[in-house]
């Protein structure tokens, strides 16, 4: 089991569980309260278990275009985008955030569970390019600051207005004396940032530095309602926003077109990425399955791997499910064949043998006028 820089703090204040090879906090107080802090104020998440690869060299852009599906040439210095890395069959090896920090240098931030697999994949393919791949995960801590008050808090700590950095940018910024990359991104549906805190090796000194930043967020954030949040709220906020999670909605047998994340996939790119032809045919010819969202109308809470039924016939399977604290109702995501159901249609979820009605619903599951980044952005 691995531990992040903040493990000692989590152990003292939270309920620590094993997750993807890491000992991580599932909650500190109530998952529901942590969830609502993200929607109404600001939630603080330790995301240091994710991997941070630095990719640098004269051919960094070409290399990354070969590796990923979004348009790397459109990514400006200090810009970031969501993208995927595919296998030869167009299945998703990984979904990630790619940030360009210099003309020839990028940061690839990826899922904890996929880190070792992706490192191997990148190192192997980098040999054909003039490029260096460096795993700097253990010397950089990463903390997500999410919610409508996130930028208020970070600006207060930085002593200047950080709203000058628009969403999806990544800039070197000094915050409370710490050298960071301020990435204006997140995984909750809310506005906010993911802060890469540099010079935090996994030593006592480095851990103390990371905990110092974390505690500064909490103490300076008390006026904004800053709340430490665990993996429970991380999952419930991303699900309520309809965001995909690797190992659930995404896997090596699912393409980004099937997963309905078309914004991560571009076709006017050079060179073509691995899996290009298959994803293009998924876009132009069609797919065998497509992702849907649904809200329970009967009693019951959906979970992953429950059968989805239409008119009594099993048509697919759920990939994630849980309670939406905002709707106070069961919500879920899953896959069904294309063109079988439309928004508003009634389906059934087989919850341990009990067939319960649900309505096919577009995500996010909350009202974007009242919650989420579009309201604050």
Partner 1 sequence: MGGTEVKDGLYYSKEHEYARVEGDIAVIGITDHAQNALHEITFVEISDVGTILKAGDECGLVESMKASSDIFTPVSGEIIEVNVELENAPEIVNEDCYGKGWMFKIKPSNLAADLSKLMDAEAYKSFIESE
Of the candidates 6, 16, 26, 196, which one interacts with partner 1 according to CB under 8 A?
A: 26
Q: In the block, which residue shows the tokens 């301020």?
A: 182
Q: Which is nearer to partner 1, 228 or 300 (CB)?
A: 300
Of the candidates 3, 13, 32, 357, which one interacts with partner 1 according to CB under 8 A?
A: 32
The three-class DSSP label of residue 149 is: coil
Q: With binding defined as CB under 8 A, does residue 352 bind partner 1?
A: yes
Q: Which is nearer to partner 1, 56 or 303 (CB)?
A: 303
Of the candidates 74, 160, 174, 354, which one interacts with partner 1 according to CB under 8 A?
A: 354
Q: Which is nearer to partner 1, 330 or 372 (CB)?
A: 330
Of the candidates 5, 10, 27, 234, which one interacts with partner 1 according to CB under 8 A?
A: 27
**Stretch of 26-34, 80-88, 171-179, 180-188 lying at the interface with partner 1 (CB under 8 A):** 26-34
Within 13 Å and on the Cβ side, how many CA atoms surround 313? 6
Q: Smallest distance from the beta carbon of 188 to partner 1, in angstroms?
A: 16
- As beta bridge partners, residue 97 has 82, 109
Rounded to whole angstroms, how far apart are CA atoms 304 and 298? 18
Q: Which is nearer to partner 1, 357 or 375 (CB)?
A: 357
The structure tokens listed for 337 are: 């064949």
Q: In the block, which residue shows the tokens 């106070």?
A: 328
Rounded to whole angstroms, how far apart are CA atoms 18 and 300? 27
Q: Find the helix packing angle between 60-67 and 115-126, rounded to 10°.
A: 130
User: How many DSSP H helices and E strands does the chain contain?
Assistant: 9, 19
Q: Which is nearer to partner 1, 268 or 352 (CB)?
A: 352
Q: With binding defined as CB under 8 A, does residue 272 bind partner 1?
A: no
Site residues for partner 1, window 316-345 (CB under 8 A)? 322-323, 330
Cα three-residue angle 359-244-276, rounded to 5 degrees: 115
Q: Find the helix packing angle between 231-240 and 31-40, rounded to 10°.
A: 50
Q: Which is nearer to partner 1, 17 or 278 (CB)?
A: 17
Site residues for partner 1, window 5-24 (CB under 8 A)? 15
**Stretch of 84-92, 112-120, 211-219, 300-308 lying at the interface with partner 1 (CB under 8 A):** 300-308
- As beta bridge partners, residue 145 has 44, 193
Q: Find the helix packing angle between 150-158 and 204-220, rounded to 10°.
A: 120
Residues in touch with partner 1 (CB under 8 A): 15, 26-27, 30-32, 232, 236, 299-301, 303, 322-323, 330, 351-352, 354
């Amino acid at each position: 089991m691995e531990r992040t820089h903040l493990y000692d703090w989590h152990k003292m204040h939270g309920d620590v569980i094993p997750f993807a090879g890491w000992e991580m906090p599932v909650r500190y107080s109530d998952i529901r309260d942590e969830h609502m802090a993200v929607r109404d104020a600001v939630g603080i998440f330790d995301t240091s278990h994710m991997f941070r690869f630095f990719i640098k060299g004269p051919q960094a852009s070409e290399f990354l275009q070969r590796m990923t599906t979004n348009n790397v040439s459109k990514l400006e210095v200090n810009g970031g985008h969501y993208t995927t890395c595919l296998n030869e069959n167009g299945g998703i090896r990984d979904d990630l955030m790619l940030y360009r920090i210099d003309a020839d240098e990028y940061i690839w931030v990826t899922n904890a569970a996929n880190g070792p697999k992706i490192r191997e994949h990148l190192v192997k393919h980098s040999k054909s390019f003039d490029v260096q791949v460096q795993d700097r995960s253990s010397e950089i801590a990463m903390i997500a600051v999410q919610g409508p008050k996130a930028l208020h808090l970070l600006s207060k700590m930085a002593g200047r207005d950080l709203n000058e950095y628009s969403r999806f940018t990544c800039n070197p910024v000094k915050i409370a004396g710490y050298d960071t990359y301020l990435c204006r991104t997140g995984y909750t549906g809310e506005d906010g940032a993911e802060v890469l805190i540099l010079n935090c090796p996994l030593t006592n000194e480095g851990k103390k530095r990371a905990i110092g930043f974390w505690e500064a967020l909490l103490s300076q954030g008390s006026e904004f309602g800053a709340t430490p949040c665990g993996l429970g709220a991380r999952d419930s906020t991303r699900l309520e926003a309809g965001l995909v999670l690797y190992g659930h909605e995404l896997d090596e047998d699912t393409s980004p077109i099937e997963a309905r994340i078309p914004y991560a996939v571009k076709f006017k790119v050079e060179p073509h990425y691995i899996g290009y032809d298959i994803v293009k045919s998924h876009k132009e010819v069609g797919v065998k399955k497509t992702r849907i969202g649904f809200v329970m109308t009967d009693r019951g809470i959906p979970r992953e791997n429950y059968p989805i039924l239409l008119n009594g016939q099993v048509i697919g399977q759920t990939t994630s499910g849980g309670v939406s604290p905002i709707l106070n109702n069961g919500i879920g995501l899953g896959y069904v064949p294309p063109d079988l159901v439309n928004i508003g249609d009634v389906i059934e979820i087989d919850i341990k043998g009990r067939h319960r009605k649900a309505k096919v619903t577009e995500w996010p599951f909350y009202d974007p006028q009242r919650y989420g980044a579009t309201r604050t952005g």
